[in-house]
Structure 1
Amino acid sequence: MIVVRNIFQLQFGKAKEGIPLLKEMAALSPEGSVRILADVTGDFYTMVLEETAADLADVEARARAEMSHPSWGALYARFTPLVMSGRREVFRTVE
């Protein structure tokens, strides 16, 4: 199994605006494959969109499907002005 974490450092005070947008973006993914995390310690205003997939091919297929959804572009355009920086981490689960 693959775990992908899209980590966003939001601008100061922008979490209230960012969380609903992340929830809408997460709704474009298969049911139960995405969760949203918010910082408790560490850098303030850190949001994580975490997704699980069977393998890297599944990650790529989902990304194509999500980004081709009619509402994705508008959501992305509203979310990116809230973001200072971001990064992606990709992990393979160890069983």
Structure 2
Amino acid sequence: MYIIRDTFYLKFGHYKAAKTLLDEAVSKNLMPVALEVRVFSDFTGDAYRLIIEKGHKTLADYEKQLSGNMSTGEWQKWYEDFKQHVERSHREILKQVV
């Protein structure tokens, strides 16, 4: 299993708007399909983060997801709105070994 962790560092005071957009993406099925999806906000450490973890059996499954619903016009429009609230982001691809 591979875990893809996308960390979005939000602009100060933008958490509520970013979370509302994330809820909208979930309700409209715009989020990429994965075996397991978890969304976190920070509790300690760097402030104003949204962290999305997605599980995939293979890297090919992850690549397929990237070219799936993320390439639709509706997702592109949503992402344009979402990224206005993001200062920077970071992606990790982790392989689960146990």
Contact 1:22-1:49 within 8 A present in 2 as well:
no
- The secondary structure found in structure 2 opposite 1:4 is strand
2:77 is the alignment partner of 1:74: yes
* Deviation >3 Å, runs of 4+: 23-27
Q: Tell me, in whole angstroms, the C-alpha distance in 2 between the residues paired with 1:25 and 1:61.
A: 19
Q: Equivalent residue for 1:21?
A: 21
Tell me how many residue pairs correspond in the alignment: 95
Matched AA of 1:30: V
Contact kept in structure 2, 1:22 and 1:36, CA below 8 Å:
no
Query: Alpha-carbon deviation of 1:86?
Result: 0.5
SS of residue paired to 1:67: helix
Identity of aligned residues (%): 34
- The separation in 1 between residues aligned to 2:14 and 2:85, in whole angstroms, is 6
Which position in structure 1 is the counterpart of 2:12? 12
1:13-33 CA-partner distances (Å, limit 9, x unpaired): 101011122234453333763
**Runs of 5+ in structure 1 lacking a partner?**
none
